[in-house]
Chain A
Amino acid sequence: MKHRVTLRIGPATFRIGSAWSGPIGELRRLYADYPAPSDGSADFTVRLEPAGLLRRWLRPSIFITGDHGLADAAPMSLAHSLLAAEMGMNLQMALGWRRHLLLHASSVEKDGRVLLMSGESGSGKSTLAAQLGERGWRLMGDEFALIDLAAGAVLPFPRLVSLKNRAIDVIAADVPAARMGPLLEGTAKGDIRHMRPRADAVARMDEGAPPALLLFPRFGHASAIRPMGQGETFMRLTQASTNYVALGEAAFAALGRFVDEVPAMAMDFPSGDEAIAMVERLWEERA
């Protein structure tokens, strides 16, 4: 590939290659503060290639490939190249990571303990984590939480936060422009804008902490909190993990321990401000 950059996010290193300079330049800018990889090796390769012979110049379209790929992935517009790079990195983690139990959850840390939030796309877990990250919590990740298989600690994976549609203006009001990526309009997921986590969250990206509380947030409903039984929590987390089956017995032990030790609740909320207040109350009660 003509243009390349190597990025380290938490324990994972990605080599990203592109036929175009634009996406690599944007990645270099947004990941400028991230610690450099310790050597030249990378866990995963992501390639952004022209979708067809002439597609590098003519209505350029990107096709994402790498160590792990999806056969039916649709080509994307070059204007959405940053999203393509982020999706490529997510895909490699989701399909290939084996060193930790990977949960589809956001995570934030306070007082040396971690709050995890799991849910489908649109549940509000990513926006809520981003908001808490600007209000005294350390943002550990908006998409994947990595659970140490032996010790049970949560490890950070503080990639760029992917903000969608209404969440963009909410977060942009709190965050300096230098930490925001370009507005990507009309993607398959609507409008998307990326945000770089605060410098302290990036600097501490090798620092894990034990989990203390698990929430299943749901945006757009009247405020309600419901304690969740361990059976339901276990089932939901096996569905939220992309590598539970691949890790076998180690994942069974790690997830069983997690569910046994960490209280879980379903949290419905009507607005971001209300959600933040609910989280802070729950955190104080837990303490």
Chain B
Amino acid sequence: MRYGGAAIIGGRAVTVDQRYCREREGNILFRTLGDIGLLYHRPSGQTHIVISPVPEILEAMEDDSPVSVGDLLQRLSRRFDLGPQETALPKIAAHLADMAALGLIRAVA
């Protein structure tokens, strides 16, 4: 369900207008092992085991400039079939909010 720039997913609101950028260069070490990705977050010392689409989202944010959920959807759609925009957009927004909560990306004003 969507309300302007926000959507309700899994019982919580996610903002699709929010912009994000990657953590500072060198703050995260990435390693691929088979079909999973390992992220070591240097500031917290935590290891995150991630699966698709987290590595793909991080790769699409590689130029380090802040991107909105809409920008990201465009970039990812060039490589992947993400289905209708109205279902893909809130899903990507939810992923970004989770990644920001873990410290893997930063929300920017």
Name A's B-contacting residues (CB within 8 A).
229-231, 234-235, 238, 244-245, 248-249, 252-253, 256, 259-260
**Pick the contact of B36 from A231, A245, A248, A252 — CB < 8 Å?**
A231
B73 to nearest A CB, angstroms? 27
- Check A230–B45 contact: CB distance below 8 A: no
- Check A256–B35 contact: CB distance below 8 A: no
- Check B29–A260 contact: CB distance below 8 A: no
Determine the distance from Cα of A252 to Cα of B47 in the docked complex, in whole angstroms: 8
- Check A230–B47 contact: CB distance below 8 A: no
- Check A229–B35 contact: CB distance below 8 A: yes
B89 within 8 A of partner (CB): no
Chain B positions 24 through 42: 1 when the CB is less than 8 Å from some CB of chain A, otherwise 0? 0000010101111010101
Determine the distance from Cα of A245 to Cα of B31 in the docked complex, in whole angstroms: 17
B9 within 8 A of partner (CB): no
Are A234 and B45 also in contact (CB < 8 A) when A256-B31, A259-B33, A260-B33 are?
no
B5 to nearest A CB, angstroms? 35
Q: Which residues of B contact A230 (CB under 8 A)?
A: 33-34, 36
Residue of B nearest to A257 (CB): B31
Determine the distance from Cα of A256 to Cα of B49 in the docked complex, in whole angstroms: 11
Chain B interface residue count, CB cutoff 8 Å, equals: 13
**Pick the contact of B29 from A229, A244, A245, A252 — CB < 8 Å?**
A252
**Pick the contact of B45 from A231, A238, A248 — CB < 8 Å?**
A248
A254 to nearest B CB, angstroms? 12
- Check B40–A249 contact: CB distance below 8 A: yes
Determine the distance from Cα of A239 to Cα of B47 in the docked complex, in whole angstroms: 12
B48 to nearest A CB, angstroms? 11
B55 to nearest A CB, angstroms? 13
A103 to nearest B CB, angstroms? 15
Are A231 and B47 also in contact (CB < 8 A) when A249-B40, A252-B38 are?
no
Q: A229-B34, A230-B33, A249-B45 are in contact. List 8 more A-B contacts (CB 8 A).
A: A229-B36, A230-B36, A231-B36, A234-B33, A238-B47, A249-B29, A253-B29, A256-B33
Are A235 and B49 also in contact (CB < 8 A) when A249-B42, A252-B38 are?
yes
Determine the distance from Cα of A114 to Cα of B36 in the docked complex, in whole angstroms: 26
A150 to nearest B CB, angstroms? 16
B96 to nearest A CB, angstroms? 23
Residue of A nearest to B39 (CB): A252
**Pick the contact of A234 from B29, B42, B49, B51 — CB < 8 Å?**
B49
Q: Which residues of B contact A248 (CB under 8 A)?
A: 45
Q: Which residues of B contact A235 (CB under 8 A)?
A: 49
Q: Which residues of A contact B35 (CB under 8 A)?
A: 229, 231
B49 to nearest A CB, angstroms? 6
Give me the 6 closest cross-chain CB pairs, A-B, nearest first: A231-B36, A230-B34, A230-B33, A252-B40, A256-B31, A248-B45
